[in-house]
Amino acid sequence: MADANVVHEGHEAVHRHEPPKSFIRKYIFSLDHKVIGIQYILLALVAVFIGMILSVIMRMNLTWPGVEWPILGAIKPETYLSLMTIHGTMMVFFVLTTAPQGGFGNYFLPIQIGAEDMAFPVLNMLSFWVTLVGFIVLLAAFFVEGGAPLGGWTGYPPLSALGQIAGPGQGTGMNLWIISIAIFCVGSLLGALNFITTLLNLRAKGMSLMRMPLTCWAWFTTAVLALLAFPVLLAGGILLLLDRTAGTSFFVPGGLVVSDRLVEHSGGSPILWQHLFWFFGHPEVYIAILPGMGATSHILSTFARKPVFGYRAMVFAIFAIGLLGFFVWGHHMFISGMSPYSAMAFSILTLSIGVPSAVKTFNWLGTLWGAKIRFTTPMLFALGFVSLFVAGGITGLVLGQTSLDLPMHDTYFVLGHFHLVMGVAAIFGMFAGIYFWFPKMFGRMMSEKLGRVHFWITFIGVYCIFIPMHIMGIVGMPRRYSQFSEGGQQIYAFLETLHPLVKFVTIAAIVTAITQLLFFFNLFYSMFKGRKAGENPWEATTLEWTTSSPPPHDNFAGVPPTVYRGPYEFAVPGAPNDYIMQTEPDPGGDPAVTVQEGSSGNGHDGHKH
Amino acid sequence: MGRALAVLIWLLTLASVVLFFSGWWFPAPISEHGPKVDQQFLITITVVGIAFVAAQVGLGYAIWRFGADARRKEERAVYSHGNNRLEMLWTVITAIVFISLAVMGQRVWAQLHFNEAPAGSFRARVVAQQFQWNFHYPGPDGKFGRTDPSLISDADLNFIGLDDRDPSARDDVSVSALAIPAGRPVELVLRSKDVTHSFWVPPLRFKQDLVPGMEIPVHFTVMADKIGKYELACAELCGQFHYRMKSYLLVLPEAEHAELVSLGAEEFKTRLSQLLAKYEPVISK
Amino acid sequence: MGMTVTSTETVAQTKVGLGSGPRKVGPNGGPRGNGPGGSGSVGDNFSPRKYRIGMWVALAGVLMLFTALTSAYIVRASSSNDWRPLVMPRLLWFSTGLILVSSLTFEVARRTLKSGNVSGYQRWLLLTVLLGLGFLATQLLAWRQLVTQGMYIATNPHSSFFYVLTGAHGLHLLGGILGLDYLLLRSWRRRNEGHAAEKRLAMANAVALYWHFMDGLWIYLFLLLFLWR
Amino acid C194: pLDDT: 63
Q: How far is CA C190 from the centre of its chain?
A: 27
Amino acid identity for residue B39 in this structure: Q
Residues near A584 by beta carbon (within 8 Å), at least 6 away in sequence: A564, A565, A604, C5
Q: Do B81 and C23 touch (CB under 8 A)?
A: yes
Nearest CB to C28; choose among B81, B83, B84: B81
Q: Which of 346-385 (A) contact C at CB < 8 A?
A: 366, 369-370
Q: Which of 133-192 (C) contact B at CB < 8 A?
A: none
Nearest to A197 by CA among A33, A42, A44, A316: A33
Instruction: List the strands of the sheet with B216-221, edge to edge.
Output: B173-175, B132-137, B122-129, B185-192, B216-221
Task: Tell me how far apart the alpha carbons of residues C168 and A343 are, in angstroms, rounded to a whole number.
Answer: 32
Q: Residue C191: which pLDDT band, with cuts at 50, 70 and 90?
A: low
DSSP codes, B116-156: PPPTT-EEEEEEEETTEEEEEE-TTTT-PPPB-GGG-BTTT
Q: Do A569 and C154 touch (CB under 8 A)?
A: no
CB A563 within 8 A of CB A207: yes
CB A399 within 8 A of CB A413: yes
Neighbouring subunits of C (3+ Cβ pairs under 8 A)? A, B
Q: Which of A373, A565, A578, A596 to mutate to test the interface with C (most CBs of C within 10 A)?
A: A565
Q: Which residues partner with B126 through β-bridges? A: B135, B190
Tell me if ipTM is over 0.90. yes
Task: Tell me how far apart the alpha carbons of residues A104 and A128 are, in angstroms, rounded to a whole number.
Answer: 13
CB B169 within 8 A of CB B145: yes
Sign of the CA dihedral running C9, C15, C17, C19 = positive
Task: Give the number of other CB atoms < 10 A from CB of residue A278.
Answer: 24
Q: Do C43 and A609 touch (CB under 8 A)?
A: no
Residues near C172 by beta carbon (within 8 Å), at least 6 away in sequence: C62, C214, C217
Q: Residue C192: which pLDDT band, with cuts at 50, 70 and 90?
A: low
Amino acid identity for residue A421 in this structure: V
Chain B contact present for A466, CB below 8 A: no
Average predicted confidence (pLDDT) for chain A: 91
**Cα–Cα distance list, A193 to A119, A295, C179 (Å):** 9, 21, 17
Closest residue on chain B to A170 (Cα)? B239
With a cut of 70, which residues of chain B have pLDDT below it? Answer: 284-285
Task: Quote helix, strand, coil % in chain A, to nearest 5.
Answer: 65, 5, 30
Chain B contact present for A3, CB below 8 A: no
Half-sphere exposure of A354 (CA within 13 A, CB side): 32
∠ at Cα A543 (A538, A548), nearest 5°?
70
Q: Residue C193: which pLDDT band, with cuts at 50, 70 and 90?
A: low
Task: Tell me how far apart the alpha carbons of residues C188 and C191 are, in angstroms, rounded to a whole number.
Answer: 9
Amino acid C107: pLDDT: 95
Q: Which of A45-59, A472-486, B189-203, C183-197 has the lowest mean pLDDT?
A: C183-197
Task: Tell me how far apart the alpha carbons of residues A17 and A11 are, in angstroms, rounded to a whole number.
Answer: 13
Task: Tell me how far apart the alpha carbons of residues A226 and A97 are, in angstroms, rounded to a whole number.
Answer: 9
DSSP letter at A38? H
pLDDT digits 0-9 by tens, A423-444: 999 999 999 999 999 999 999 9
As separate numbers, helices (DSSP H) first and strands (DSSP E) second, chain A gives 19, 4
Nearest to B226 by CA among B198, B274, B184, B273: B184
pLDDT surpasses 80 at C86: yes
pTM for the model: 0.91
The count of CB pairs under 8 A between chains A and B is 356
Q: Do B79 and C18 touch (CB under 8 A)?
A: no
CB A290 within 8 A of CB A214: no
Task: Tell me how far apart the alpha carbons of residues B118 and B69 are, in angstroms, rounded to a whole number.
Answer: 68
Give C83 to chain A, closest Cα distance, Å: 9
Amino acid C52: pLDDT: 93
Amino acid A475: pLDDT: 95
Phi, psi (rounded to 5 degrees) for B134: -120, 130
3-state SS string over A334-369? CCCCCCHHHHHHHHHHHHHHHHHHHHHHHHHHHHHC
pLDDT digits 0-9 by tens, A167-188: 999 999 999 999 999 999 999 9
- As a dihedral over the C-alpha atoms of residue A103, residue A109, residue A111, residue A114, rounded to 10 degrees, the angle is -170
Q: What is the mean pLDDT of residues A580-587?
A: 87
Q: Do B208 and A493 touch (CB under 8 A)?
A: no
pLDDT surpasses 50 at C15: no
pLDDT digits 0-9 by tens, A332-366: 999 998 999 999 999 999 999 999 999 999 999 99
Q: Which residues partner with A411 through β-bridges? A: A478
Sign of the CA dihedral running B253, B254, B257, B263 = negative
The string over A550-568, giving b where at least 16 C-beta atoms fall within 10 Å of a residue's C-beta and e elsewhere, is bbbbbbbbbbbbbbbbbbb
DSSP codes, chain C: -------GGGPPP---TT-----SSSTTSS--PPPGGGGSPTT----HHHHHHHHHHHHHHHHHHHHHHHHHHHHHHHH-S---PPPPPTHHHHHHHHHHHHHHHHHHHHHHHHTT-HHHHHHHHHHHHHHHHHHHHHHHHHHHHHHHTT--TTS-HHHHHHHHHHHHHHHHHHHHHHHHHHHHHHHH-----TTHHHHHHHHHHHHHHHHHHHHHHHHHHHHHHHT--
Q: Which run of H or E residues covers position A258?
A: strand A257-258
Amino acid A23: pLDDT: 82
Sign of the CA dihedral running C6, C7, C8, C12 = negative
Residues near B167 by beta carbon (within 8 Å), at least 6 away in sequence: B145
Chain A hits for B106, Cβ within 8 Å? 344, 347-348, 401-403
Amino acid C82: pLDDT: 87
Q: Which residues partner with A485 through β-bridges? A: A490
pLDDT digits 0-9 by tens, A78-124: 999 999 999 999 999 999 999 999 999 999 999 999 999 999 999 99
**Cα–Cα distance list, A561 to A138, A592, C38, C202 (Å):** 42, 16, 10, 26
**Cα–Cα distance list, C72 to A263, A268, A273 (Å):** 22, 10, 9
CB B66 within 8 A of CB A368: yes
Helix, strand, or coil (residue B281):
strand
CB A183 within 8 A of CB A137: yes
Task: Give the number of other CB atoms < 10 A from CB of residue A85.
Answer: 29
Nearest CB to C60; choose among A204, A227, A587: A227
Report which of residues C196 and A428 the model is more confident about. Answer: A428
Amino acid B156: pLDDT: 87
Chain C contact present for A33, CB below 8 A: no
Residues near A142 by beta carbon (within 8 Å), at least 6 away in sequence: A82, A86, A148, A173
Amino acid C46: pLDDT: 61
Q: What is the mean pLDDT of residues A302-319?
A: 95
Helix, strand, or coil (residue B185):
strand
Q: Residue A16: which pLDDT band, with cuts at 50, 70 and 90?
A: low
Task: Tell me how far apart the alpha carbons of residues A286 and A222 are, in angstroms, rounded to a whole number.
Answer: 7
Nearest CB to B59; choose among A365, A375, A492: A365
DSSP codes, B203-263: GGTEEEEE-TT--EEEEEEB-TT--EEEEEEE-S--STTGGG-EEEEEEE-HHHHHHHHTS
In this prediction, what percent of chain A has a pLDDT beyond 70? 93
pLDDT surpasses 90 at C40: no
**Cα–Cα distance list, A609 to A578, A580, A604 (Å):** 10, 10, 11
pLDDT digits 0-9 by tens, A240-288: 999 999 999 999 999 899 988 899 888 899 999 999 999 999 999 999 9
Q: Which run of H or E residues covers position A415?
A: helix A412-418
